[in-house]
């Protein structure tokens, strides 16, 4: 397939691997931030082809995985209401809440529907004026513009039966939190190409300077990833800590200005809880007061009282922080499988545990 | 696919009680049900066995051929939504699904049963189109519907129509095809492109449109299997002497796609299976849809494609026979059976790495971004 096969080319892979091998002189630990990158690395077998000096750890950039359990429970409470049609991206449906998942709500008669875009949820709202349509607005900066547009459209069209359950998070705040944690061992970051397509990479420049760590904007295909790794290793070997763009076919320094403007218009920064990590200050978006009418938590205030604690067995928090590998977990592949997941990292196909399980990394 | 109902075939001396849709009375066992059978099902599936109209159909033993052959018997239920999709419909699926299950044991399918569960309110025209499609599918596959049943459920208790078909076929002598028969050294073949059906249905169900329409591959595979069996049957041959059957396993790659089939076979045969991702034929538009939705084409359903495991020595002959058949033109060898990593399926990736291709966990879920 054009524009994909070129980035999965075996010859180019060998060449880039040889370049990395030639460049590297000592061990380096790199974190790919985004779950989509983790998925691609494991699916292509890239992690097993890299020189042993390169240690990849998998970052917190899976929106499904970092959505706190409490919010999943709120979603389940909303979806169980007979006056609500609950809409969500597909892979959120299997995330276990403290008692059950959204699939179970559906089986018990709740109206839960998979949509591919919040605009599809708007369409459902137009067709079902007697119900409130709640969209589960999760994700990083990547999905925020579409969600913001849905709010703006609903507002403009006077669609009062549409609301969103917001759990938006942002990458720079996560990198800051990781770098501030005491036993952090990451030498360099591969930043998430899709997030940077929207936001640009100027935000990362002060982080690279403050923590003296190279950050390379990286894409998602094997060749993109190798390119990002090579750039990052070059920076490290040269003792430099710049922000580099290894995904120039999609990303500019300034990013997508109109998309940023739409986010600005609808959302404002707020503290957010990250599953397995805890509350990170100013690490996500919430609806501006002007759009409070579209906030599902305000529309159905009873969900605000829901409070949930995480499972004590699951180490997904450590996995999300890159401090443990999925197969370091005693429950991995035993009590915890994609069929009956203990934590969110086993649920989403972008989650590190699911990627390890699916593509077979049983105890190295 | 049948676009319009063939109303010419309907003999209709008396109108069907003037109901444009199915009503509860069509399942009540009385005149209305008799009318439905007499005017719709019987003329569409017309044959001497269904014509017996008994509580059970009598099949003469001479129908099942010669000594040393065995019977194959299977059943399958069809609950697809939407009922009509690009390249097929539930009626064709109901015939081909069961025909293909029989063919995957190397059997020549002969007779089917057809059980209909109709939802009150189903338009008669829709039922007519489905029944017509089934009649045409039976003709194409060379099978007869020998017995049937109709029930009606209340509005809201069914998806328009559910169909169950069972089938009987004859396995010729010298054929021994089963999921536990794969041996190290065997090769793995597929009969064509993977993922067409699942993406075609998904595109209609989810209202996704692509530049080119993706059509389901719904087709009866018994002809293709017959051609493959013909060139590779075991038995005693005057010039070559005793020859073991060369086709060891056959599976139509339906739900769960190629990945599910290879896993089932590797587990049943206690062998490892290796294949090269680049060898698996996938239409560019199917690949594009999968990339967009975050799905893996190896896990997507097919309705007219088979996976075969055969002895390496005969693989060339079998491949040639497949490619000479209309439904196997794009057949290829994708991998091999190995004694290493028993019960695991390993894929060589496009960039030269490797990964384990696991069984699918449950419903395929599109990724968020």
> Model confidence over B192-236: pLDDT tens digits?
999 999 999 888 877 777 777 889 999 999 999 999 999 988 777
Give me the pLDDT at residue B5, please. 52
Q: Domain-by-domain residue ranges, chain B?
A: 7-171, 187-356
Please check whether residue A123 lies inside any domain of the structure: yes
Per-residue pLDDT of A62-93, as tens digits, reads: 888 888 889 999 999 999 999 999 999 987 88
For B187-356, CATH gives: 3.90.650.10
Size of interface A-B (CB pairs under 8 A): 99
Task: Report yes or no on A335 lying in a domain.
Answer: no
Average pLDDT over residues B323-335: 97
- Count structural domains, chain A: 2
Q: What's the confidence (pLDDT) of residue B228?
A: 96
Please list the residues that pair with B76 across neighbouring strands: B165
Residues of A in contact with B344 (CB under 8 A): 360
For domain B7-171, give the CATH superfamily: PurM-like, N-terminal domain (3.30.1330.10)
Does B46 have pLDDT greater than 80?
Answer: yes
Q: Say what the pTM is.
A: 0.84
Task: Let me know the angle formed at the C-alpha of B177 by B176 and B182, rounded to the nearest 5 degrees.
Answer: 110
Q: What is the CATH number of the domain that holds A286?
A: 3.40.50.11740
The predicted pLDDT at position B202 comes to: 86
CB burial readout A217-251, b (16+ within 10 A) else e: bbbbbbbbbbbbbbbbbbbbeeeebebbbbbeeeb
Structural domain of A89: 65-170+255-305
Are A127 and A162 members of one domain? yes
* Domain termination residue (choose one: A274, A290, A305): A305
Q: What is the ipTM of this complex?
A: 0.79
Picking from B206, B353, B368, the nearest residue to A49 by CB comes out as: B353
User: For B136-162, how does the pLDDT look when each residue is reduced to its tens digit (9 = 90+)?
Assistant: 999 999 999 999 999 999 999 999 999
Q: List chain A residues with CB under 8 Å of B291.
A: 1, 4
Shared domain for A16 and A26, answered yes or no, is yes
Residues with Cβ within 8 Å of residue B54, at least 6 apart in sequence: none
Where does the pLDDT of residue A340 fall: very low under 50, low under 70, confident under 90, or very high at 90 and above?
A: confident
- A4 has pLDDT over 70: yes
B293, closest residue in chain A (CA to CA): A116
Cα torsion B257, B181, B185, A360: sign: positive
Q: What mean pLDDT do residues A114-122 have?
A: 93
Is A349 within 8 Å of B206 when comparing Cβ atoms? Answer: no
How confident is residue B12, by pLDDT bands cut at 50, 70 and 90?
Answer: very low
**Is residue A136 assigned to a domain?**
yes
* Same domain, yes or no: A201 and A277: no
pLDDT-derived band of residue B361, with 50, 70 and 90 as boundaries? Answer: low
Work out the mean pLDDT of chain A and round it to a whole number. 91
Do A110 and A134 lie in one domain? The reply is: yes
Return the minimum-mean-pLDDT range out of A237-241, B243-247, B261-265.
Answer: B243-247
What is the rounded CA–CA span in Å between residue A264 and residue A267? 6
- Considering the domain architecture, whether residues A193 and A276 belong to the same structural domain is answered as no
Residue B10 has pLDDT above 80, yes or no: no
Residue of B nearest to A146 (CA): B369
Query: What 3-state DSSP class applies to B303?
Result: coil
pLDDT in tens, A58-69: 888 888 888 888
Residues of chain B in contact with residue A358, where contact means CB-CB under 8 angstroms, are 356, 358
Site of tokens 């449906």:
A93
Inside any domain, residue A360:
no
**A194/B353 Cβ within 8 A:** no
The whole-angstrom distance between B254's CA and the closest CA on chain A is 20
Say if residue A77 is in the same domain as residue A132.
Answer: yes
A17 & A101 share domain: no
A11 within domain boundaries:
yes
Q: Calculate how close chain B gets to A337, using CA atoms only, in Å.
A: 9
How much is the average pLDDT of B294-314? Answer: 94
- Cα within 13 Å of Cα(A200), Cβ side: 13
**Overall size of chain B counted in residues:** 369
Average pLDDT over every residue of B238-258: 89
Domain match, A212 and A163 both: no
Is B369 near chain A, with CB under 8 Å?
yes
pLDDT score of B367: 64
For the stretch B155-198, pLDDT in tens is 999 999 999 999 999 998 889 999 999 999 999 999 999 999 99
Indicate the pLDDT class of residue B13, thresholds 50, 70 and 90. Answer: very low
Q: Secondary structure of chain A in the HEC alphabet?
A: CCCCHHHHCHHHHHHHHHHHHHHCCCCEEEEEEEHHHHHHHHHHCHHHHCCCCEEEEEEEECHHHHCCHHHHHHHHHHHCCCCEEEEECHHHCCCCCCCCCHHHHHHCCCEEEECCCHHHHHHHHHHCCCCEEEEEEEECCCCHHHHHHHHHHHHHCCCCCEEEEEEEECHHHHHHHHHHCCCCCCCEEEEEHHHHHHHCCCCHHHHHHHHCCCEEEECCCHHHHHHHHHHHHHHHHCCCCCEEECCCCCCCCCCCHHHHHHHHHHEEEEEEEECCCEEEEEEEEEECHHHHHHEHHHHCHHHHHCCCCCCCCCCHHHHHCCCCCHHHCCCECCCECCCCCCCHHHCCCCCHHHHHHHCCCCCC
CATH of the domain at A222: 3.40.50.11750
């Amino acid at each position: 397939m054009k524009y994909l096969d070129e980035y999965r080319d075996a010859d180019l892979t060998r060449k880039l691997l040889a370049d990395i091998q030639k460049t590297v002189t000592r061990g380096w630990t790199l974190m790919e931030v985004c779950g989509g990158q983790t998925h691609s690395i494991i699916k292509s077998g890239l992690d097993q082809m890299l020189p042993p000096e390169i240690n990849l750890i998998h970052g917190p950039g899976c929106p499904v995985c970092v959505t706190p359990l409490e919010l999943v429970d709120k979603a389940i409470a909303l979806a169980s209401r007979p006056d609500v049609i609950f809409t969500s991206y597909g892979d959120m449906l299997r995330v276990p809440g403290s008692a059950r998942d959204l699939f179970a709500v559906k089986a018990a008669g709740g109206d839960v529907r998979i949509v591919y875009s919040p605009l599809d949820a708007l369409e459902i709202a137009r067709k079902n004026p007697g119900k409130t349509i709640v969209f589960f607005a999760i994700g990083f900066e990547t999905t925020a513009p579409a969600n913001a547009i849905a709010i703006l459209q609903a507002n403009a069209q006077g669609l009062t039966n549409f609301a969103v359950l917001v759990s938006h998070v942002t990458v720079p705040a996560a990198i800051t939190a990781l770098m501030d944690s005491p036993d952090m061992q990451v030498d360099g970051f591969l930043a998430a190409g899709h997030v940077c397509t929207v936001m640009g990479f100027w935000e990362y420049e002060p982080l690279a300077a403050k923590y003296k760590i190279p950050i390379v904007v990286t894409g998602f295909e094997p060749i993109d990833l190798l390119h990002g790794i090579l750039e990052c290793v070059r920076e490290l070997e040269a003792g430099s800590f710049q922000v580099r763009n290894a995904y120039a076919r999609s990303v500019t320094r300034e990013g997508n200005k109109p998309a940023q403007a739409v986010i600005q218009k609808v959302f404002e920064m707020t503290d957010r809880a990250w599953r397995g990590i805890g509350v990170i200050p100013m690490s996500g978006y919430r609806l501006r007061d002007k759009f409070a009418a579209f906030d599902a938590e305000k529309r159905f205030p009873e969900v605000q009282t829901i409070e949930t604690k995480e499972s004590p067995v699951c180490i997904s928090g450590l996995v999300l922080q890159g401090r443990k590998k999925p197969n370091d977990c005693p429950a991995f592949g035993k009590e915890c499988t994609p069929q009956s997941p203990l934590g969110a990292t086993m649920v989403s196909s972008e989650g590190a545990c699911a990627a390890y399980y699916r593509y077979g990394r049983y105890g190295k | 696919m049948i676009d319009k109902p063939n109303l010419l075939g309907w003999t209709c001396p008396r109108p069907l009680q003037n109901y444009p849709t199915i009503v509860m009375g069509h399942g009540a066992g009385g005149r209305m049900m008799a009318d439905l059978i007499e005017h719709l099902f019987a003329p569409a599936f017309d044959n001497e066995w269904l014509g017996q109209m008994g509580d059970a159909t009598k099949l003469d033993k001479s129908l099942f051929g010669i000594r040393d052959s065995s019977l194959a018997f299977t059943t399958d239920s069809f609950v697809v939504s939407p009922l009509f999709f690009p390249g097929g419909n539930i009626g064709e699926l109901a015939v081909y699904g069961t025909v293909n299950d029989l063919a995957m044991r190397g059997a020549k399918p002969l007779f089917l049963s057809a059980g209909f569960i109709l939802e009150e309110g189903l338009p008669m025209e829709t039922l007519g189109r489905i029944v017509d499609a089934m009649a045409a599918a039976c003709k194409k596959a060379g099978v007869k519907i020998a017995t049937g049943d109709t029930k009606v459920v209340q509005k809201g208790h069914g998806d328009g129509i559910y169909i169950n078909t069972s089938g009987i076929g004859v396995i010729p002598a010298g054929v021994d095809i089963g999921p536990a028969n794969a041996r190290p050294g065997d090769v793995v073949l597929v009969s064509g492109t993977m993922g067409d059906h699942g993406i075609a249905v998904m595109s209609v169900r989810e209202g996704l449109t692509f530049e080119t329409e993706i059509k389901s591959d719904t087709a009866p595979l018994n002809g293709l299997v017959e051609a493959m069996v013909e060139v590779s049957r075991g038995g005693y041959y005057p010039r070559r002497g005793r020859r073991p059957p060369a086709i060891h396993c056959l599976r139509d790659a339906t739900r769960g796609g190629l990945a599910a089939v290879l896993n089932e076979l590797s587990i049943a045969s206690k062998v490892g299976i290796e294949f090269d991702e680049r060898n698996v034929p996938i239409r560019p538009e199917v690949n594009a849809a999968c990339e967009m939705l975050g799905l893996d084409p190896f896990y997507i359903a097919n309705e007219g494609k088979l996976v075969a495991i055969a002895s390496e020595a005969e693989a060339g002959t079998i491949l040639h026979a497949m490619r000479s058949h209309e439904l196997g033109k794009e057949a290829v060898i994708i991998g091999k059976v190995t004694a290493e990593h028993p019960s695991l399926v390993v894929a060589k990736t496009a960039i030269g790495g490797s990964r384990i291709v696991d069984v699918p966990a449950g419903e395929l879920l599109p990724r968020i971004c």
